[in-house]
Structure 1
Amino acid sequence: MHEYSIVGALLEQCEQYASDNNATRISEVVIKIGVLSGVEPALLATAFDTFKLEGRAKEAVLTIEHQAIVLSCQQCNTTSEVAERTVICPQCHSFDTRIVAGEEMLLMQLALESD
């Protein structure tokens, strides 16, 4: 389950931001997970709750935003959000597309507090 290593790296990054900003607590972590990222949101949330027990994030709330697949078609020059796991342009049905969103996992926001 690679979600544990992802959460470890995420919490490390959050702790570094908190340290850099002289924060004593992390109250919220907001991440965006793409449909094609290979990360299972439910497992990631469980791993977060398991590993946050130490450090500044021990009371942090994890908010997960889901990123749909966004394709850019090289044939008809459109950008489309697709509901299914596909790389076919919904406008012209071409396979000549490029994924511009939906594969990533990003730290979007971090709520820090100081005493």
Structure 2
Amino acid sequence: MHEMGIAQQLVQIALDAIPEEIENPRVEKLNLRIGRLASVVEHSLTFCFEIITKDTPLESASLEIDFIAVMVHCKSCDHTWEVTGPVFKCPFCEDGDVEMLTGREIEITSLELAE
């Protein structure tokens, strides 16, 4: 289950982002962007996140996940489209020389601290 490793990295990044001058910080929400091809199972990530945040400033924080579509650009005809199936061939010119623009990212967009 690679979600545990992802959760650990997210927690470390979030903890490093909390300003040191804040006493007893408590994170309420961690906002994420996750690409559809990142192969992240939301329930598994949430479960792992809950386990590893115990006794940290992220304990009880919620994960807000914005799933990002797979967007591809054709190098031959210059079209860009959203891939919704398993085929990465250009639907306009049928060439396979494509570049993936989005869909593999896993990133924290923001975290919200309690007052």
TM-score range, shorter chain: 0.7 to 0.9
Aligned to 1:48: 49
Q: Which amino acid aligns with 1:28?
A: K
- Partners of 2:22 and 2:109 in 1: how far apart? 20
Whole-angstrom distance in 2 between the partners of 1:13 and 1:42? 20
Pairwise CA distance, 1:20: 4.3
Q: What is the CA distance between 1:92 and its match in structure 2? A: 2.0
Asked if the contact 1:32–1:64 (Cα under 8 Å) also holds between the matched residues in 2, the reply is yes
User: Quick check: 1:18 aligned with 2:18?
Assistant: yes
Q: Secondary structure at the match of 1:36?
A: helix
Q: Distance in 2 between matches of 1:4 and 1:66?
A: 18
Q: Which amino acid aligns with 1:107?
A: I
- What's the secondary structure of 1:45's corresponding residue? helix
Q: How does 1:27-106 map to 2 (within 5 A)?
A: 27-106=28-107
SS of 1:85 mapped into structure 2: coil
- C-alpha contact 1:26 1:57 (8 A) present in aligned 2: yes
Amino acid at match of 2:16: Q
Post-superposition shift, 1:19?
3.6
- Could you tell me which runs of 5 or more consecutive residues in structure 1 were left unpaired when the two chains were aligned: none
Query: Residues 18 and 25 of structure 1 are in contact (CA less than 8 Å); yes or no, is this contact kept in structure 2?
Result: no
SS at structure 1 position matched to 2:38: coil
With the length of structure 2 as denominator, give the TM-score of the two structures: 0.88
Aligned-pair CA distance for 1:32: 1.3
The question of whether the paired residues in 1 share the 8 Å contact of 2:33 and 2:109 is answered with yes
Q: Distance in 2 between matches of 1:21 and 1:44?
A: 30
Counterparts of 1:112 and 1:21, CA distance in 2 = 13
Report the Cα offset of residue 90 of structure 1.
2.4
Instruction: Give the root-mean-square deviation of aligned CA atoms.
Output: 1.7
Query: 2:110 is matched by which residue type in structure 1?
Result: Q
